[in-house]
């Protein structure tokens, strides 16, 4: 379908106007919302992830594409909600306590949204108790933690302990990332997954959903 192709191209090229206008057009033409989502927006973000992993796209290109995807999502979301189309899963995400860096976390959120997940973003400087409360309230499938400082990285481990003590650890999958975080550290603190970048975080989340 040429309209779906135009949505796809709008997102891959980072053209937010094209992505949102063509999404409106597709809805107006009566195209299926799930098709617009899966073959337009999500397929395009998958391609953006691939281009990033191949080194053709860098963080700025990925951010611009993610914004284009979000502008299409903003138009499609009410239609999806009205049709009760289920998201791929629910994710609670935040940057851990003491840490104010949020560019990487936002990028991860956008890639997860691009992969069809519903995102509850707790922001930065998120205390372990705040993660716990958000999990109790929202019942997510996945909890994501980001840290950019070697000092705040330790709060990932503290948060996992608080989630264990709060009795919610077993019902969720925990994924972690951020510049100082490694696969080895993730395993040490008992996280379920680590991803070095936003694009692989989306494929990791899909894998963890089974
Ligand atoms: Co800060 N800072 N900073 N900083 N800052 C670093 C991290 C630092 C490495 C710079 C340096 O000294 N070379 C250094 C940390 C040293 C260390 O701990 N080893 C540092 C420092 C020291 C500080 C302050 C302490 C400086 C000071 O005040 N003395 C201070 C701390 C504030 C605080 O948090 N309490 C501070 C402040 C700031 C700014 C506010 C000025 C600003 C943040 C603005 C913002 O985020 N809104 C800032 C910035 C911009 C940086 C650098 C330059 C860039 C970080 C960034 O956004 N990268 C950074 C240097 C660097 O990393 N080269 C630095 C781009 C982003 C897309 O990458 O965040 O790595 P990243 O995310 C990636 C992956 O890591 C991964 O996917 C993302 C996309 O591919 N990922 C995940 C991230 N989270 C994930 C979660 C996942 C999965 C993957 O699952 C849930």
Q: So what's the ipTM on this one?
A: 0.98
Q: Of the residues 50, 58, 140, 179, which should be mutated to test ligand 1's pocket, given the most ligand atoms within 8 Å of the CB?
A: 179
Instruction: Report whether residue 81 contacts ligand 1, using a CB cutoff of 6 Å.
Output: no
Atom of ligand 1 nearest to the CA of 144: 91
Residue 206 is predicted with a pLDDT of 94
Neighbours of 93 (CB within 10 A): 26
Please provide the average confidence, as pLDDT, over all residues in the chain. 95
**Above 90 in pLDDT, residue 150?**
yes
Among protein residues, the one whose CA lies closest to atom 59 of ligand 1:
148
Of the candidates 33, 189, 174, the residue with the CA atom closest to the CA atom of residue 94: 174
What's the average model confidence in pLDDT over 108-136? 95
Å from CA of 8 to ligand 1 middle: 31
Q: Rounded CA gap, 106 and 35, in Å?
A: 26
122/73: higher pLDDT: 122
pTM of the model: 0.89
**Above 90 in pLDDT, residue 90?**
yes
What's the average model confidence in pLDDT over 38-57? 93
Instruction: Report whether residue 204 contacts ligand 1, using a CB cutoff of 6 Å.
Output: no
Residue 34 is predicted with a pLDDT of 87
Instruction: Report whether residue 49 contacts ligand 1, using a CB cutoff of 6 Å.
Output: no
Among protein residues, the one whose CA lies closest to atom 5 of ligand 1:
101
Residue 161 is predicted with a pLDDT of 98
Neighbours of 130 (CB within 10 A): 17
Q: Rounded CA gap, 54 and 102, in Å?
A: 24
Backbone Cα Rg of the chain: 17
**Side-chain-facing half-sphere of 12: CA atoms under 13 Å:** 16
Question: Is 193 within 8 Å of 174 (Cβ atoms)?
Answer: yes
What is the per-residue pLDDT across 161-184, written as a single tens digit (0 to 9) for each?
999 999 999 999 999 999 999 999
**Above 90 in pLDDT, residue 80?**
no
Hey, what long-range contacts does 52-61 have (CB within 8 A, 24 or more apart)? 52/197, 52/198, 52/199, 53/197, 53/199, 53/200, 59/103, 59/107, 61/14
Q: How confident is the model at residue 55 (pLDDT cuts 50, 70, 90)?
A: very high
């Amino acid at each position: 379908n040429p309209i779906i192709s135009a949505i796809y191209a709008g997102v891959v090229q980072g053209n937010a106007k094209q992505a949102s206008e063509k999404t409106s057009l597709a809805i107006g033409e009566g195209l299926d919302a799930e098709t617009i989502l899966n073959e337009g927006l999500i397929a395009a973000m998958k391609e953006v992830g691939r281009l990033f992993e191949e080194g053709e796209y860098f963080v700025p290109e990925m951010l611009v594409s993610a914004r284009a995807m979000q502008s299409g999502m903003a138009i499609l979301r009410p239609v999806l909600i009205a049709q009760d189309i289920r998201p791929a899963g629910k994710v609670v995400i935040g940057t851990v306590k003491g840490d104010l860096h949020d560019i990487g976390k936002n990028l991860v959120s956008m890639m997860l949204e691009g992969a069809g997940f519903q995102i509850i973003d707790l922001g930065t400087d998120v205390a372990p108790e705040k993660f716990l409360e958000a999990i109790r309230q929202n019942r997510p499938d996945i909890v994501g933690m980001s840290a950019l400082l070697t000092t705040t990285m330790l709060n990932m481990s503290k948060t996992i302990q608080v989630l264990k003590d709060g009795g919610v650890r077993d019902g969720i999958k925990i994924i972690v990332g951020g510049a100082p975080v490694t696969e080895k550290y993730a395993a040490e603190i008992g996280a379920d997954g680590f991803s070095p970048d936003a694009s692989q975080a989306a494929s990791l989340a899909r894998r963890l959903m089974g």
